[in-house]
Amino acid sequence: MSSAIRGIEEVLNRFARLQAKIDNLEHPLKASGVYMTGSIERNFKAQGRPAKWRGLADSTLAARRTGKGSGGAQILIDTAALKSSVTSDFETSSSTMSIGTNMVQAKRMHFGYPEGEGRGHSETPARPFLLFQDEDADAILKIFNKHFEDAL
């Protein structure tokens, strides 16, 4: 067999391995979802990233829980229900990853709402927590690069 034919066979084999990786993105998508839920957790821990969230109103601070959980002054973390509700989900049939929360108040907390609406009728400032940071794109690119590297 000539070296030219062996070279063509190797190229075709690489294309076949690459196609198999493209056809099965479950692993890198799931890894990306796990990574992103961790990044969102860091948003809560930092009390806003890249910009800090606006502080709590005096009325909110006064209303915080005083029982077992102590209800400190952390923004969006009185009971930690919102933070704990953030999940990632891989949909096998469409090979898609979704990250989010099913809590009703999440939209209001993320985008804020004006005075006169909602509980207490007071303004709630936007405190975006469900977002990608610049470094997240680099980390996810590394996850996908690792997935494809052995095929090339």
Q: HEC string of 24-47?
A: CCHHHHHHHHHHHHHHHHHHHHHC
Helix (H) or strand (E) holding 5: helix 3-23
For residue 96, pLDDT over 80 is answered with yes
- Residues 110-128 have a mean pLDDT of 80
Give the C-alpha separation, 37 to 149, whole Å: 25
Percent of the chain with pLDDT over 70: 88
Task: Look at 36 and 122; give whichever has higher pLDDT.
Answer: 36
Nearest alpha-carbon partner for 128 in 49, 57, 74: 49
Give the C-alpha separation, 44 to 74, whole Å: 9
Give the C-alpha separation, 66 to 144, whole Å: 46
pTM: 0.78
Nearest alpha-carbon partner for 81 in 106, 48, 58: 106
Tokens of 119: 């509980």
The SS3 call for residue 19 is helix
For residue 68, pLDDT over 70 is answered with no
- Residues 11-26 have a mean pLDDT of 83
- Write down the pLDDT at residue 79: 81
